[in-house]
Amino acid sequence: MTGGRDTRDDRPAVSSRVLLVSGQRLDPRSIERAIRDHHGREIDAVVGVLADCSASDWLSVWAETPVRTTTIDVETCTRSTSRTAEQPTAPSAQASLSDISERLLDSFDTQEGQMVCCLHSLSTLLERFEREHVFRFVHAVGVLAARHGEACYLTMNASRQDAATTEVFSTICDVVRVDRGDTTPS
């Protein structure tokens, strides 16, 4: 399954896309907890496509777990792991979604085992690229992650775009989790 809205408890075993909606900016620690909480089983590896936090912040959070971690910086399209980090390209060469997708494909190709993907955040991608373009990109990422046996998590700050945009992206998500600011996301 590559899409379908389902906020019930009988969610599919492997969700193509999980939308994590919060009313405020999510930090890497909250995202790591939300992913592990929702996932409900061991995670081999995670790739973070980062527009809202630094690679070092992301890597430091996941370093406290046994999960292998890769990051792709949306601004420069550089890739980092807990052991290696590429030099960023020239700042004038802002990465396109095609550039990012190439890096994602490389990451999945070279990864042994299953790999969760997280786009952090959808809100920032929507500020940089057209909504329809991001929508198609997110769909393809979800299919790719599902093919590799895992899910794609999308973070969204509900205060940064209109409700209709959240609604549109929820149509291609198997699960929509809304963080109301307490400890019980729905």
Partner 1 sequence: MASDRGVVIVGDGDPSATDRRAASLRSAFVVHTAYEGDAVLDSLDESVDIVLVSPSLPDFSLHALYQRRTDGEAYFQVGLLTEIQETPQWIDAAIDPTVGDDDLVRVVEWLATRATYRKRLDTFYDLASKHASLADEETSVDPAQLESRLDRLRAEIDDAVADLDDESLFEVALDGYEKEE
Binding site for partner 1 (CB under 8 A): 1-4, 96-98, 101-102, 105, 108, 132-133, 135-137, 139-140, 143-144, 147, 163-165, 167-168, 171-172
Q: Running DSSP on this structure, what letter comes out for residue 111? A: -
- Tell me how far, at minimum, the Cβ of 113 lies from partner 1, in Å: 17
Comparison of 44 and 102: residue with beta carbon closer to partner 1: 102
Comparison of 16 and 76: residue with beta carbon closer to partner 1: 16
Which residue, among 47, 168, 32, has the nearest Cα to 104 in the 3D structure?
Answer: 47
**Residue 72, φ and ψ in degrees, nearest 5:** -125, 120
Residues 21, 156 contacting (CB under 8 angstroms): yes
Comparison of 2 and 24: residue with beta carbon closer to partner 1: 2
How many other C-beta atoms lie within 10 A of the C-beta of residue 10?
A: 5
Q: Running DSSP on this structure, what letter comes out for residue 94? A: P
- Tell me how far, at minimum, the Cβ of 172 lies from partner 1, in Å: 8
Rg over CA atoms, the chain: 15
- Tell me how far, at minimum, the Cβ of 1 lies from partner 1, in Å: 7
Comparison of 100 and 118: residue with beta carbon closer to partner 1: 100
Comparison of 94 and 171: residue with beta carbon closer to partner 1: 171
- Tell me how far, at minimum, the Cβ of 90 lies from partner 1, in Å: 18
Residues 175, 15 contacting (CB under 8 angstroms): yes
Distance CA(112)–CA(87), nearest Å, equals 24
- Tell me how far, at minimum, the Cβ of 61 lies from partner 1, in Å: 28
